[in-house]
Amino acid sequence: MSDEIKLIEVKEDIQADNAAKAKELQDSLRKEKTFLLNLMASPGAGKTSLVIQTIRHLKEKLHVGIMEADIDSMVDAEKVAKEGVDAIQIRTGGFCHMDATMVKSGLDAMNTKNLDLVILENVGNLVCPAEFETGAHKNAMILSVPEGDDKPLKYPLMFSVCHALVINKTDYLELSDFSVEKCRERVLKLNPGIQIFEVSCKTGEGIDRWVEWLHQEVNNI
């Protein structure tokens, strides 16, 4: 009997395989001229609210599809479908993230050739979704004011992998000690190239800038 114990890095192998599948999916969507946005955030940060605001601003300009991912329930997909866009719900069955294989199964249920933009509303948390590539052309995240401006210090990977940060619920700023300046400083230290948008999905403030950025990214695919 050997005294040597073999160490097998399963997670590394899984992520390498997923990254290859994500690249393949991304290239396939690019050929179709379909832009995929991966939207991540904590539960309650306002993902669905931002999705609905985005739909209302863009549905007359783009063909939009929405992919809702949750451990359970159909609530978000039902809300989004009322906005008159294609929407599907993916129930992950306990998984706290989406990966490229899951995303492809969802896209296969949609006619992506007729869609300019697909938004994936990822499972709500700031840890697991940041670790898995989805095939998206851009990653965006939401940080809501009630969560606090220290989240970049606690979840650096999430802020590092995103191309855009939406600071949501700015209508709460006067009622909190959230510092936009401190938040920006912490985020830009992690990710100097990130785009930062201050919005309130409740009042509509700042939504135009976010939508303009997203529309331009779709047109540049």
Residue type for 169, please? K
Q: Which residue matches tokens 């938040």? A: 183
1 part of a folded domain: no
The amino acid that residue 205 corresponds to is E
Q: What's CA 197's distance to the chain center, in Å?
A: 14
Task: Name the pTM for this structure.
Answer: 0.91
Task: Render pLDDT for 116-142 as a digit per residue (tens, 0 to 9).
Answer: 999 999 999 999 999 999 999 999 999
Would you say residue 5 lies in a domain?
Answer: no
Contact by Cβ (8 Å): 29, 36 = yes
Assigned domain for 41 exists: yes
Full residue range of the structural domain in which residue 131 is found? 10-219
Q: How many domains does the chain have?
A: 1
Average pLDDT, the chain: 92
pLDDT tens per residue across span 42-59: 999 999 999 999 999 999
Distance of CA 113 to the CA centre of its chain: 21
Note whether residue 2 is domain-resident: no
Examine residue 17 and state whether it is found in any structural domain, yes or no: yes
Write out the DSSP string of the chain. Answer: --S------HHHHHHHHHHHHHHHHHHHHHHHT-EEEEEEE-TTSSHHHHHHHHHHHHTTTS-EEEEEEESS-SHHHHHHHTTTSEEEEEE-TT-SS--HHHHHHHHHTS-GGG-SEEEEE--S-SSHHHHS--S-SEEEEEEEGGG-TTHHHH-HHHHHH-SEEEEE-GGGGGGS---HHHHHHHHHHH-TT-EEEE--TTT-TTHHHHHHHHHHHHHT-
Does 40 map to a domain? yes
* pLDDT tens digits along 4-14: 765 445 456 66
Pairing label, strands 86-91, 117-121: unpaired
Contact 187, 220 (CB under 8 A): no
What are 64-88's pLDDT values in tens digits? 999 998 766 677 888 889 999 989 9
User: Residue 171 maps to which CATH number?
Assistant: 3.40.50.300
Residue 35 in any domain: the answer is yes
What is the predicted pLDDT for the residue at 97?
84
Share of the chain above pLDDT 90, in %: 78
3 lies in a domain?
no
